[in-house]
Chain A
Amino acid sequence: MGKPQDIELEQAVVRFSGDSGDGMQLTGSLFSNISAVLGNEISTYPDFPSEIRAPQGELGGVSSFQVHVGGKIHTPGDQADILVAMNPAALKINVNAVKKHGAIIYDVDLFEKKDLEKAAFSTDNPFSELNISDTIQLIPLQLTTLTKESLKDSGLDNKTILRSKNMFALGLVCWLFNRPMEQAIHFLETKFKKKQSALAINIKVLTDGYNYGNNLHLTLSRFIIEKSHDVQKGRYTSISGNTAAAYGLIAAAEKAGLPLFLGSYPITPATDIMQELAARKDVGAKVVQAEDEIAGITTAIGAAFAGSLAATNTSGPGLALKSEAIGLAVMAELPLVIIDVQRSGPSTGMPTKTEQTDLLQALYGRNGESPVVVIAASTPANCFHYVYMASKIALEHSTPVIVLTDAFIGNGNSLWKLPKLAELPEIQPNFVKPEMQACKVTARNEVTKARYWSFPGMEGFVHRNGGLEKDYDKGAISTEARNHEKMVKVRAEKVQYVSNSIPDVNIVGDKNADLLVIGWGSTEGHLTSAVEELNKQGKKTALAQFTYISPLPKNAAELIRSYKKVVVCELNTGQFATYLRSQVQGVEFLQYNKIQGQPFTVAELVENVSTLC
């Protein structure tokens, strides 16, 4: 039998899956970083339970990391070409996540009777029990034995040795996809800079895994993935949405010439933003880990009152707790950035799973007439851009801005073209001007309606702000009937005025189609891929993906009305559709919704949307 031929692919999806203690997140992110360095586009999807260490080998503890590498990538991929299953539970949970002609690499050492029982298999043949198609190639690997063999002279205890299994698997997958060892080792060196002993062990096991692949070459094909050609030239890194959001705040504060303040409280899946900023004392970020969600935002409001670019970050339950304080920022007309990394709800819901169910809460979830600007990021990397723009809008229009991301793009990674501060749009906070000495607290730019910002420390501008209604002219507290109505309208006009400076929504796909697919935020990748696929199949489809939600882009209504059929696809029961019905009259908004704690798959979108074409 001859050596199998190498297979050339434009892109490939690899899914690493194991116990939540097996290091699958690290393994997956290393593989995606290595691929990115080689010039591939990447899109990653970490999918893990909220338990830190669930019972070993059981279904509830399975943690997965899927990465899509190659060219023309919009999503982490519906299904994997290669599934690495560290145990039977991982196999069972992920069996439908493998492509028809994909392959499953599994640790055959952990497929004994007791292991199968833990994963609730009733027979001793998990593959037939799961009805795995015979088109899927099964690659048994003695991962446990081989890792022990690799470290037999290390003098380490068994438990430590077994923790390195993920590196053996990574080594093998690197070989399979022709990823050079030097890059992998380089990343490990960075990762274990402060733990030299761990570094040596990981490199040893990784290299043995790679070499094992070399020896297997007699029976296994290797994949060659071309460098991507449609990536703009430049410096890149791989970044998660949460890290990108934190950097967006840092850049905006420096551009505006203001100190940066974050008030925050730990909450899945938003905590990384706080942690990133807490680590950035070098650029002067002040972070208060507050006693609760309410203090997270109210410390930030205090910082905004005192002249900082102030922000808070949270997820759905935390946004609910912050509602009253957001109302205060609306009433006090202070700049404030609120980042909501959405997760499945209601209540505690499914904390590590993604969903787009906070939209109506962001738009309306407050007492009184309480308009704010709402923006949604659509990829991990562009969380940087949208948080930066949210800061710019907040500072220039004296308003709270809510940025919606979610667990999918917050935790997921994509390529980020590294910006220079000088390239970013100017930010000109709406400060009072020296000639306005002794102006009232309600003094505002009569065109934009933005209240002028002065703060303690500025001589000549002492004022009293607060949550009580104020007189439009005098700034003093007021319950005068007509004044209140005027103030309500002014605050709304101010938010609406932002539409003058946001970009039009664009059409992707076939502009001349009859069918318009509408999405918002993080579904952009899946919807783009689905619409590309539909057009490829000859089913004319257009896509409008919204990132500016409130106010809507100025061209939104006209653009939507120009299509015969409109379907709104979102990961909730129809919140954006509900909102659009109130904003764009005379259109029948059809819906396609998914509420499973998971992103769309391209396949299900193509299947369902094509029935409307």
Chain B
Amino acid sequence: MEEIKQYSAKDFKSDQYVRWCPGCGDHALVNVLQKSMAEIGIAPHETAVISGIGCSSRLPYYMNTYGFHTIHGRGAAVATGVKVANPNLTVWQITGDGDCLAIGGNHFIHSVRRNVDLNVLLFNNQIYGLTKGQYSPTSKKGLVTKSSPFGTVERPFRPAELTFGARGTFFARTLDVDLQTAQTVLTAAAQHKGTSVVECLVNCVIFNDGAHGWLADKANRADRSIVLEHGKPMIFGSNKDKGLVLEGFNLKVVSIGEHGVKESDILIHDATCEDATLHQKLAMMEGPDMPIAMGVIRQVAAETYDAAVENQIKEIQAQTSIKNFDDLVDSLEQWEI
């Protein structure tokens, strides 16, 4: 048996100078991605990293894998083509909130709907950075930017809601300053068969500094977020004394030990539940009353598009005597002249 090669993060690092702004959240995530790739152990030449346009879409240049920096919004479609053409490859798609949810919104929902086996890292900084500071489809309503000098009047997308609406099989969330969760989530995304959407909350220090500040604040992060783990109770807080329960159709934060609440009353996270209702409730939680859900929120098994395409071809090929072009020509209605 061939020895399985051990990789280190360095094997996935290219020789290119990283051109993101100092302090940009993308720096941390490219490092985590390289570590995750080493952990997964797929060879660099079996890995393709596809991106669209935007700050985050520069990422393929920093990877020592096959990479394709395509055009604005079309990364999902190009990645679909790569994966369908060669399902043996591990395909990552790097995208941002503008690239993925504005110009590329159509490709995003359809790749999710088809469940193409892609690992999608959606870098959400709630701003257009590369064009120097216009609001994006995820910018908070009222955000003052260069293109919204009086504040935006638009309602933002929630990427999780879109993913579930498109019948997504995997959704996870992580934060640029929480490297441990980031690596867990990226590795889980890579191991999931299907479109794995990972919303990476990243900070744009130049144009939208502190957009995720309430959550990122290290001192309070444990109380303001909950890192979900499949099969584990939904407990959070610096003292691990808060938890989530259902009250009617809604989630509610309770304190363990108060008002007779026991640890056994706390919900257990089931990421594999087909019904996305609770996943959506979790993903939509917002401060200050609720913690923000991090980690793998949804991970359900379903046939991937790329496998389905291959399987259908194999099925048909097993039934037919037409094996090649000459057979095809022979099978046509024809006559001698």
Interface residues of A (CB under 8 A from B): 33, 36-37, 39, 187, 190, 228, 231-237, 247, 250-251, 254, 259, 261, 263, 280-284, 286, 288, 290-292, 294-295, 298-308, 310, 324-325, 327-328, 332, 415, 418-421, 455-468, 476-477
Instruction: State A419–B326 Cα separation when bound (angstroms).
Output: 8
Q: Nearest chain B CB to A544's CB is how many angstroms away?
A: 29
Query: Interface size of B by Cβ–Cβ distance < 8 Å?
Result: 57
Partner of B45, one of A286, A325, A456: A456
Check if A261 sits within 8 Å of B46, measured CB to CB.
Answer: no
Chain B residues, CB < 8 A from A234: 336-337
Instruction: Give Cα distance in the complex from A476 to B60, angstroms.
Output: 12
Apart from the given pairs A291-B107, A306-B48, 18 other A-B contacts in the complex at a CB distance below 8 Å: A234-B336, A235-B334, A236-B335, A250-B328, A251-B325, A282-B322, A304-B81, A305-B82, A306-B85, A308-B85, A310-B81, A418-B334, A455-B66, A457-B86, A462-B65, A464-B66, A464-B67, A464-B69
B206 within 8 A of A: no
Interface string of B80-120 (1 = CB under 8 A from A): 11111110110000000000000000110010000000000
- A328 touching B82 by the CB < 8 A rule? no
> Which residue in chain A gives the minimum CB-CB distance to B79?
A302
In the complex, A310 Cα to B320 Cα: how many Å?
Answer: 24
In angstroms, Cα B74 to Cα A172, docked, is 55
Nearest neighbor of A40 in chain B, beta-carbon distance: B337
Task: Please measure, in the bound complex, the distance between the C-alpha atom of A460 and the C-alpha atom of B44, giving whole angstroms.
Answer: 10
Q: Which residues of A contact B289 (CB under 8 A)?
A: none
Kindly provide the distance from the CB of B19 to the nearest chain A CB, expressed in whole angstroms: 9
Question: Contacts A282-B316, A282-B317, A291-B110: A307 and B74 contacting too (C-beta < 8 A)?
Answer: no
Check A328–B309 contact: CB distance below 8 A.
no
Q: Which of B48, B83, B88, B107 contacts A295 (CB 8 A)?
A: B107
In this assembly, does B61 line the interface, its C-beta being within 8 Å of a C-beta of chain A? yes
Contact, CB under 8 Å: B106 / A292: yes
* B323 part of interface (Cβ distance < 8 Å): yes
For A291, the chain B residues whose CB sits under 8 A away are 77, 106-107, 110
Question: Could you name 11 residue pairs across A and B whose Cβ atoms are closer than 8 Å?
Answer: A37-B335, A288-B84, A291-B107, A291-B110, A295-B77, A300-B81, A305-B66, A457-B45, A457-B88, A462-B67, A465-B69
Judged by a CB distance under 8 angstroms, whether B14 is at the interface is yes
B50 and A302: CB pair below 8 A? yes
Question: Which residue of chain A lies nearest to B72 when distances are taken between CB atoms in the complex?
Answer: A324
Pairs of residues from A and B, 6 with the lowest C-beta to C-beta distance, nearest first: A302-B81, A466-B69, A299-B81, A303-B85, A464-B67, A298-B77
By the criterion CB–CB under 8 Å, are A461 and B45 in contact? yes
Main secondary structure of the interface of A (DSSP, over half): mixed
**Interface contact A467-B71, CB-CB below 8 Å:** yes
Q: How far is the CA of A462 from the CA of B42 in the complex (A)?
A: 14
Nearest residue, chain A, Cβ from B315: A281
Q: Is B78 an interface residue (CB 8 A)?
A: yes
Q: A286-B313, A301-B70, A459-B43 are in contact. Are A280 and B328 (CB under 8 A)?
A: yes
B89 and A418: CB pair below 8 A?
Answer: no
Cβ–Cβ contact B81 & A301, under 8 A = yes
Q: Counting CB contacts under 8 A, is B68 at the interface?
A: yes
CB distance from B112 to the nearest CB of A (A): 11
A421 CA / B16 CA spacing, docked (Å): 45
Q: Are B313 and A284 in contact (CB under 8 A)?
A: yes
User: How many whole Å from A64's CB to the nearest CB in chain B?
Assistant: 24
Query: Nearest chain A CB to B129's CB is how many angstroms away?
Result: 17
Cβ contacts under 8 Å, B325 to chain A: 247, 250-251, 254, 283, 421
Beta-carbon nearest neighbor of B331 in chain A: A282
Alpha-carbon distance A292/B83, docked complex (angstroms): 18
Within 8 A of A (CB), among B119-139: none
Are A466's CB and B70's CB within 8 A?
yes
**Please, which residues of chain B bring their CB within 8 A of the CB of A292?**
106
Q: Tell me if B85 and A302 are in contact (CB < 8 A).
A: yes
Q: For the complex, is B333 an interface residue (Cβ under 8 Å from A)?
A: yes
**Distance between B44 CB and nearest chain A CB, rounded to angstroms:** 6
**How far, in Å, is B68 (CB) from chain A's closest CB?**
5
Which residues of B sit under 8 angstroms from A328, Cβ to Cβ?
70-71
Smallest CB gap from B310: residue in A: A286
A residues in contact with B323, CB < 8 Å: 282-283
Contact A419 B329 (CB under 8 A): yes
Q: Does B312 make an interface contact (CB < 8 A)?
A: yes
Q: Is B250 an interface residue (CB 8 A)?
A: no
**Taking the complex as formed, is B163 at the interface, i.e. its CB lies under 8 A from any CB of chain A?**
no
A462 and B64 contacting across the interface, CB-CB below 8 Å = yes
How distant is A226 from chain B, measured CB to nearest CB, in Å?
A: 13
| Alpha-carbon gap, A466 to B48, bound state (A) | 13
| Closest chain B CB from A454 CB (angstroms) | 9
What are the residues of chain B within 8 A of A254 when measuring CB–CB?
Answer: 324-325
Q: From B322, which residue of chain A is reached at the shortest CB distance? A: A282
B304 → chain A closest CB, angstroms: 14
- Whether the pair A231, B337 counts as a contact (CB closer than 8 A) is yes
Specify which chain B residues have a CB less than 8 angstroms from the CB of A458 in the assembled complex: 45
Q: Which of A231, A421, A459 contacts B324 (CB 8 A)?
A: A421
